[in-house]
Chain A
Amino acid sequence: MTTTTAERAVAARAPSSGAKEGRGVAVTAHIALILWSLLVILPLLWTVLSSFKSTQEVLGNPLSLPGKLHFENYVNAWTTAGIGRYFFNTVIVVGAALVLVMVLGAMCAYVLARFTFPGNRLIYYSMLAGLTFPVFLAIVPLFFVLKNLSLLNTLPGLIITYVAFALPFTVFFLHSFFKQLPGEIYEAAQIDGAGEWRTFFSVMLPMAKPGMASVAIFNFLGLWNQFLLPVALNTDSNNYVLSQGMASFASQAGYAVDFGALFAAVVITVAPVLVVYIIFQRQLQVSVTQGGVK
């Protein structure tokens, strides 16, 4: 960085044709990016507009605006189609699974990162393997594991499965965080008479907060979007989570034809996450780059 000042001065005296070329590039860049942004926004915007239309209007001209705002679509989606119920199920399942996986993942990562014992590496690498194998390979036996434990089609069963499959990633990610924590602090806590439990919860865990936040965001999105595990392991429609509820609603809508409510259901599903995203977008994108660049 320090040597660049002189170079910049040289570059500043470059011929003005460069500036013209630069402007052309910038205009092209803006056009390309605006086109992509439109491609992202327009389908979403159309969904929001359609969610206020009556079914006749949805089946009519797709480019028209809704004649009047049919808010009843939202009521229908929330109650008749059961989206409200699915929403609360999802909040319970994702909330519980998130808390559990963060606690268990942090504990496991901490032990693996800071203690040496026989089998440490083996556990770490089997976690890594669990991260790479496709869940589809496990899905049939998993079905019977849950059945034998009487956890099939129950929310606790879904929660524990979510925890188990989010665990490898959580451990893998937090492992490097706990490794980097200075050992002196651990020693100091020990000398001051704190036991292992105390040291972890009052000293080490608070220091891993940035890492915990990143993993929590990732896990939240991953679990909220989870589809395969619930459709395979949670087939009681009273216990549906949002993603599978949406899929089943959409496949029914072909017959019952309440398209307005379908679009409303989509908006109900997307809106909360989108609002949270816009508020936390900076933090989220930092987390993504931390997790992804690794």
Chain B
Amino acid sequence: MTQEAVPDGGPKRSVVRRRRPLTFDRVSFMVVFLGVPLAVFVIFVVSPFVQALWYSLTDWSGFSSGMNFVGLDNYVKLFHDDIFLKAVRNNVLLAIVVPIVTIVLSLTLATLVTIGGSGTGTVRGLKNAGFYRIVSFFPYVIPAIVIGLIWAQVFTPSSGILDAVLSKIGLSGFENYAWLGDARTAMPASMFVMIWGAVGFYMVLFIAAIRGIDPSVFEAARIDGAGRFRTAISLTVPLIRDNVQTAYVYLGIAALDAFVYMQALNPGGGPQNSTLVMPQQLFTTAFSKGQFGYSTAMGVVLAAVTMLFALVVFTVNALTGGRDQRKVKVRR
């Protein structure tokens, strides 16, 4: 991703030399253009992040003035906190399942839209592809909290539409089934909602990536007798591999958060804490219990897990030959 910072093939940038006179225009320009955004950034983003590291080493409870340095005590306590460890496990589970299912689903749908068209010879897109694309993208523009609330209603026993439909088609066992209230189904149901919210966005991304592949590559494969399924698995996926990696990182980071969805579906952490996630626990510890030092330690763990996750994805992709696969030229 960082390679994008330097535009390739772009026109040469002009470098403003510093020996130009320091006029009022130039000085005021630099002060305002750089100073104001930086001040906002430093005060509201950088300083809280730095302070968090310090707070996590104290027993600060916020409103009282007492703040003692306790070293790594908070972290030691965290690793014996069964509820927090449960939340960590839930987050890790989310970060594994949600990205994989979302990517498989959205990649399948994107493939169907782009190369599912009938006919021989040229690889064609599907009729009405625009309609499917527009509809699938809907959830992206709906606030996540509202997605959660809608599905919470859908899952509600007896008055929710899911139980009604299931019992209508003969599955009478589901007439009054609490999807979010049963520890066995609460997590899968919550995962489903997150996936529902994400598929459309990644489908659109993958469609663009597949369209970016030189069509003659597909035609060559077709002439060599590769079926559509074969084409999708051994041609498309390797060619848009970097997009898949980016998607995996984004989705994983979203799954390590998951705060909004879980807060809408099961604000209390779900039956037996089966859907409790780290951010929820952090939020309660901080703003309900006032244990600010302890909760920022949770934040540090969350950040560490997030970084570790990104690192694992990049490493796995690099080890399995991420960049070497791109022998076929990809057209932008």
Contact = CB atoms under 8 A, between A and B. Distances in A.
A12 interface: yes
Interface stretch (B69-77, B254-262, B312-320): B254-262
A47 B148 CA distance: 13
16 contacts: A11-B219, A14-B121, A29-B113, A29-B116, A127-B41, A134-B257, A134-B302, A136-B279, A139-B286, A145-B51, A164-B45, A183-B12, A224-B143, A231-B283, A292-B243, A294-B1
Interface residues of B, number: 127
A165 B137 contact: no
A33 B113 contact: yes
Contact of B138 (A113, A138, A186, A274): A274
B36 A104 contact: yes
Given A138-B52, A281-B137, 9 more contacts: A43-B161, A58-B159, A111-B30, A113-B13, A137-B300, A139-B48, A141-B55, A176-B4, A221-B140
B308 interface: no
A273 B47 contact: no
B161 A176 contact: no
A176 to B, nearest CB: 5
Interface in A256-291: 259, 262-263, 266, 269-270, 273-274, 276-278, 281, 284-285, 288-289
B133 A108 contact: no
B296 interface: yes
A29 B129 CA distance: 10
B45 A144 contact: no
Contacts of A88: none
A115 B16 contact: yes
B10 interface: yes
Nearest to B222: A11
B87 interface: no
B299 to A, nearest CB: 4
Interface string A122-141: 01101110101110111111
A28 B118 CA distance: 11
Given A145-B47, A176-B7, A1 B118 contact: no
Given A136-B299, A243-B145, A36 B120 contact: no
B65 to A, nearest CB: 13
A184 to B, nearest CB: 8
Contact of A62 (B5, B18, B160): B160
A39 interface: yes
A133 B246 contact: no
Interface of B: 1-2, 4-7, 10-16, 18, 23, 25-26, 28-30, 32-34, 36-38, 40-41, 43-49, 51-52, 55, 62, 108-109, 112-113, 116-122, 126-128, 131-146, 149-154, 158-161, 163-165, 168, 196, 199-201, 204-205, 208-209, 212, 214-216, 219-220, 222-223, 227-228, 243, 246, 253, 256-257, 259-260, 263-264, 267, 278-279, 282-283, 286-287, 292, 295-296, 299-300, 302-303, 306-307, 310
Given A164-B45, A288-B204, A104 B141 contact: no
Given A11-B222, A108-B33, A266 B296 contact: no
A36 B136 contact: yes
B150 to A, nearest CB: 5
Nearest to A113: B13
Contacts of B137: 277, 281, 284-285
A273 B99 CA distance: 26
B296 A243 contact: no
A250 B259 contact: no
Contacts of B257: 134, 136
Given A37-B135, A227-B260, A293-B243, A243 B10 contact: no
B41 A32 contact: no
A161 B279 contact: no
Nearest to B3: A294
Interface in A172-206: 175-176, 179-184, 186-187, 195-197, 200
Nearest to A181: B11
Nearest to A30: B126
A270 B146 contact: yes
Contacts of B1: 294
Contacts of A123: 34, 38
Contacts of A37: 131-132, 135-136
Contacts of A183: 11-14
B45 A138 contact: yes
A242 B144 CA distance: 12
A52 interface: no
A269 B161 contact: no
Contacts of B228: 21-22, 25
Contact of B14 (A19, A46, A187, A221): A187
Contact of A25 (B10, B116, B132, B296): B116
What 9 pairs between A and B have smallest CB-CB spacing? A183-B14, A29-B116, A164-B44, A11-B121, A138-B48, A289-B208, A141-B51, A108-B37, A195-B25
A161 B112 CA distance: 42
B256 to A, nearest CB: 7
B120 A11 contact: yes
B232 to A, nearest CB: 10
Interface string A52-79: 0000001111110000000000000000
Contacts of B6: 179
Residue of A28, A47, A126, A134 contacting most chain B CB atoms (<10 Å): A134
Nearest to B243: A293
A200 B33 contact: yes
Contact of B40 (A133, A167, A181, A281): A167
A225 B142 CA distance: 8
Given A127-B41, A165-B44, A288-B205, A62 B164 contact: yes
